[in-house]
Structure 1
Amino acid sequence: MTDDAHAPTSPDRSPDPTGTQTGARPPAGAPVGGEDTAGDRPGWVRDTVVFLGGQTVSLFGSMLVQYAVLWHLTLQTRSGAVLALSSVFGFLPQAVVSIFGGVWADRHNRKLLVIAADATIAVTTLTLALLMLGGADDLWLIYAALAIRSAGAGIQTPAVSALVPQIVPTRHLMRVNGINATIQSAMMLVAPAVAAAVYASADIVAVFFVDVVTAVIGIGLLLLVPVATVVRTATDGPVSYFGDLVGGLRYLAGHAFVRWVLVLFAVVFVLIVAPSYLTPLMVARTFGPEVWKLTANELAFSIGMLVGGGVVAAWAGSRSRIALIVGSTVAFGGISIALGLSTNLWVFLGFMLLLGLAVPFFSTPSTTVLQETVEPEMQGRVFGFVGIVMAVAMPLGMAIFGPLADVVSVELLLVLAGVALFVVVGVALAMPSGRRAVEAARRSATPEAAAVPSDG
C-alpha cells in the first residue's frame, strides 16, 4: 500500500491539517482533471509513502481486533447465532453508511473524513476496552462497537479510495494499488499470529489498546499529507446531500463503462468470494479435520495474494486493465472448477495458492480503472457504491452458498461457481459496453479512461 520514497521535503510543502496549502506548489489533488500534462506532481512519492504507510498501520490494528473479537466470541459463547449476529453488525452498517459516505467524500475534504472516521473508531474501541476493564462483558457492547466500527469503515473506505488519485499521478496508480494489495496480503499473514500472541498472553482488552495506538499513529501520519478539497463542477446553485446521491445514481445510469465494471465486480465477488470461504469445509469433509490442513488452506491463499500483489505492482502497470480483469475472471472460473475436482490435498492447496495469486489481478485493476476513469468530483460516490457491493456480496453469497453446502457437496458448488464465472465473462463481453471496453483496450496500453462514457 505504499510506493518508493526518495523525494525531499521542501519548505513550501509544509503539512497543513486543514487540507489547504499556501505554498508555491499546489496541494495534492488540486487539479480537478486526471491528466499528467505537466509531469508528476513534485513530492507525490513522499506523500504516498506517508499516507499509505499510516493507513497500513491503522489497518493492522483493525485486523487484530477483527481476529480477536471472532476468537473471543467463539471461545466465550460457542454459539453460531452469536457469530452470525456479529457478522451482521460487522457488515450491514458499512453497507448502509457507504451510501452516504460516498456523498460526503465528494462534498468534503477526504483527508478530514478519514481522520474523523479513524478517530471515531479509536474512541469507540477505547471506550469498549475501558468498560471491559471495569467488568462489563455484555454481548450488546461488543455488537454496538462492531456496528460503530463498521459505520466508520463505510465513511473511510470510499474516502480513501477516492483520495489516492489526489496524491498519486494517474500513470502510477496501478503500481501503488498493487503495492497496496501486497501489503494487505502481508497483513493477512501476520495479523492472526500477532493477535493470537497478544490475546493469549493478555486478553482482548490488550488487543483493543493496540488498535487505539495504531489508529493514533495512522492519524498522525495522515496529518502530514496535504490534500485539497476536490473542486466541484459549477452548478446552478447549492446541491443537497440527497441531490448528490441522486446525481451519483444518475452518473452510474448514464456511464455505461463504469456501470459495466461495477456489475462485473459485484457478480464475480459473489461467485468467487463466498465459495472460497467454504473451502475449509471441503478440506474438513474431504481431506480430514486436522488443524494443520485448515491452516495450510488459509496460508496457501494468503501467500498467493501476497505474490500476486507484488507481480501486479512490478509488472502490470502498463498492461490493459480490461484484459487483466477479464483474464483473471476466466482464471477464477478455471481454478474454482479445479478446486472442486481435486482429490489430493496438495493439489488442492496448489490451486488455492493460484486462486490467491489471481485475486490482485482482478481487484487491483478494477479499483485502478475506476480511479482513472471517474471524474474526481464523482469518485467518492462511485467508491461508495463499490463499498456497498463489498459489504453486501459476502453475506449475500454466504446466504446462497452456505445452506446449499449442507444439501450438496462443496465440490459441486465450486464447479458450478466456476462454470457460472465463464458464463459471466461471455455475457460481459457480449454487452455493448464490454465490447467497447475491449476495443479500447486493443487501441491503447492504458485505454480504459477513453472508454465511451455514456450509453449514447
Structure 2
Amino acid sequence: MRRVALLLAGQAFSLLGSSIVQYALWWWIVLESRTGASMLLATLFGVVPQAIVSMFGGPMADRYNRKILIMLPDLVIAAVTVFLSVSFALGWANLSVIFAVLFIRSAGGGIQMPAVQSFIPDVTPTGKLLRVNSIYGVINSANMIVAPAIAAVLINMVPLWSILLVDVTTAVIGVGFVAMIRVPAKRPADGSKVDADVADAAGEPLPDGPLPLAVLKRTFADLKSGFAYTMGNPRLKGVIVGDALTCFVAVAPMNLTLLLMTREYEGIDLHLGFVNLVTASDKLAANELGWSAGMLLGGALMSTIGAKVLRDGRSQMRMVVFGIAMVGVTVIGLGTAPSLLAYLVINVLNGMSSAICVGPMRTIMQSESDESMTGRVFGLDTTLATFGMPLGMLVFAPLADVIPISWVFIAGGLLTLPVAWYVLYLTRRGVSART
C-alpha cells in the first residue's frame, strides 16, 4: 500500500498542476482571441495528439519500464512549460506557441496514461484494485473541483508566466514520489540477460532492418495483437466498446451544457439562501461544480461500499452496465428538467453515474488483461474514448443549431441505453462461453 500511496500522491500533484495550467491557458485564449476557431484549434491540439499517441503508448507500456514512462512525459512537459513561461515573461508568446505546447502536453499524456493504468496492478495488493481505482477516480474528481478555483484566484493575482511554473513545480514533486517506488525488475523466464541493442524490454528480438523501422514494425505488430486480444475477450470488448460509444453518444451532448444553460435558463435565477445563481457565470460554475461533486461522491461510494460488494468480474460488469444506463437516463433528464434546481440535481446524479462506471471499467481492464497486454488494452481504450467525444461533437453540435438543444440531450440519452444493453449482452456471452 506504500507503493500505491506514492503513486497516487505523485499523480495527484501532477494532475493538479497540469489542470491549473490548462484552465489558465484556455481562459487566456478565450480572452485574447474571442473566436470559435481558436477554441476549436485549442481543442484539436489538446485532444487529438493524446488519442493518436495512446495507440503507441499502450504497446510501450507493455514492453518498457512503466515507471520511466510515467516520469519522463512529466519532465518533458515541465521543460516545454518553462519555455512557454519564459516566452510570456519576455512578451513574445502567441497562439502558435501555445498550440505547439498544447500539442506536446497532449502527446505526453498519450504515453503517460496507459503507463499509469498498467502500473497500478504492478503495485496494488491482491483484491484491492477496485478500491485503488476508485480512489484514483476521487482524486480526479477532486482535481476538477479544486483546479479551476485555484486557477481563477491565481489569474487575478499573478501574471500568467508565473502560473505556468505551478505545473513545473507539481511535476517535479510528482516525479519525486513515483521515483521512490521500488518494483522488482522482471526478467525473462530463463533468467538470461537481454541485449538492449537487439531486443526490446520484453526480451523478444526486434524484426530485421534498420532500428527505427524495426521498432515501427514491432509497434504495429503490437497494435494488431492488442486489438485482436481485446476483441477476443468479451468483458474487455464490452468495457472498451461501451466506453467509446458512451463518449460518442452521451458525453458529447454533455459538452453542450454551455449552450443548454444559456438558452434554456437565461433570465431564470435560483435563490437557495446559501447561494444565489443570477449571472450566466454563476450558473456555469454551478454546472461544473455539481457534476464534479457527483463524480466525487460516486468515486467515494465505489471505493468504500463498492470495493466490498463488487468482488468479481461479473458483478463489476453489471455495475458498468448499470452505470452506463444511468448516464443515459440522467442525460435525458438534463434535457427534460422542469427547473434550474432540478437540472442541477440531475447533473449531480449524472456525475455519480459516470463515476460508478469508471472504477469498475478500469478494474476489469486491469484484472482481465494478461500482464503483457495491459498497456495495449488501456491504449486502445484511451484512443477510442478520446476520439469518441470530438466525433460525437461533430454530429451533435450542428444539430443543436437546427433543433431545440433539449432534443439533442434526449437523443443522446436514448442512444446510450442500447449501449448498456450491448455491454450486458457481451457480459452474458462471456459467462456462457466460460461455462
Same fold, judged at TM 0.5 (above): yes
Q: Deviations over 1:282-334 (max 9, x none)?
A: 11111116221222111211111111111110111131111110111111122
Shift of 1:366: 0.6
Match of 1:308 among 282, 286, 298: 298
- Aligned 8 A contact 1:279 1:410 in 2: no
> Counterpart of 2:205?
238
Shift of 1:343: 2.0
Amino acid at match of 2:288: E
> Counterpart of 2:226?
248
> Counterpart of 1:184?
140
> Counterpart of 1:14?
none
Shift of 1:230: 5.2
> Counterpart of 1:436?
429
Shift of 1:229: 4.9
- Aligned 8 A contact 2:230 2:236 in 1: yes
> Counterpart of 2:338?
343
> Counterpart of 2:198?
none
> Counterpart of 1:286?
264
Shift of 1:125: 0.5
> Counterpart of 2:273?
none
Q: Deviations over 1:168-202 (max 9, x none)?
A: 02410111111111111111111111111111111
> Counterpart of 1:110?
66
Alpha-carbon distance change, 333 to 237 in structure 1, aligned in 2, over 3 angstroms: closer
Shift of 1:100: 1.0
Q: What is the 5 A alignment of 1:197-216?
A: 197-216=153-172
**TM-score, normalised to structure 1's length?**
0.83
1:391 aligns with 2:381: no
Shift of 1:338: 1.7
> Counterpart of 1:27?
none
- Aligned 8 A contact 2:235 2:317 in 1: no
Shift of 1:67: 0.3
Match of 1:419 among 407, 414, 418: 414
Alpha-carbon distance change, 104 to 348 in structure 1, aligned in 2, over 3 angstroms: same
- Aligned 8 A contact 2:243 2:385 in 1: no
Match of 2:241 among 234, 252, 263: 263
- Aligned 8 A contact 1:231 1:377 in 2: no
Shift of 1:142: 0.5
Query: In 1, Cα distance between the equivalents of 2:176 and 2:420?
Result: 44
Secondary structure class of the residue paired with 1:293: helix
- Taking only the aligned residue pairs, the percentage that are identical comes to 38
- Aligned 8 A contact 1:287 1:345 in 2: yes
Shift of 1:363: 1.1
1:88 aligns with 2:47: no
> Counterpart of 1:16?
none
Alpha-carbon distance change, 230 to 406 in structure 1, aligned in 2, over 3 angstroms: farther
Q: Deviations over 1:377-430 (max 9, x none)?
A: 111111111111232122111111111111112211111112112222233334
> Counterpart of 2:400?
405
Aligned length: 396
Amino acid at match of 1:245: L
Shift of 1:276: 1.2
Compute the RMSD of aligned alpha carbons: 1.9
- Aligned 8 A contact 1:336 1:415 in 2: yes
Match of 1:59 among 15, 36, 58: 15
Amino acid at match of 2:223: L
> Counterpart of 1:41?
none
The range that moved more, 328-337 or 362-371, is 328-337
Query: In 1, Cα distance between the equivalents of 2:35 and 2:180?
Result: 44
Q: Deviations over 1:214-268 (max 9, x none)?
A: 0000011111001345567899952433322222122124333312221111111
Query: In 2, Cα distance between the equivalents of 1:253 and 1:355?
Result: 29
Q: Deviations over 1:97-144 (max 9, x none)?
A: 111111111111100111111111111111111122122122111011
Query: In 2, Cα distance between the equivalents of 1:232 and 1:250?
Result: 24
**TM-score, normalised to structure 2's length?**
0.87
Match of 2:253 among 261, 270, 275: 275
> Counterpart of 1:221?
177
> Counterpart of 2:111?
155
The range that moved more, 91-100 or 151-160, is 91-100
* Structure 1 unaligned spans of 5+: 1-44, 441-450
Amino acid at match of 1:388: T
Secondary structure class of the residue paired with 2:402: coil
1:298 aligns with 2:265: no
Match of 2:78 among 122, 125, 129: 122
- Aligned 8 A contact 1:106 1:230 in 2: no
Query: In 2, Cα distance between the equivalents of 1:266 and 1:233?
Result: 36
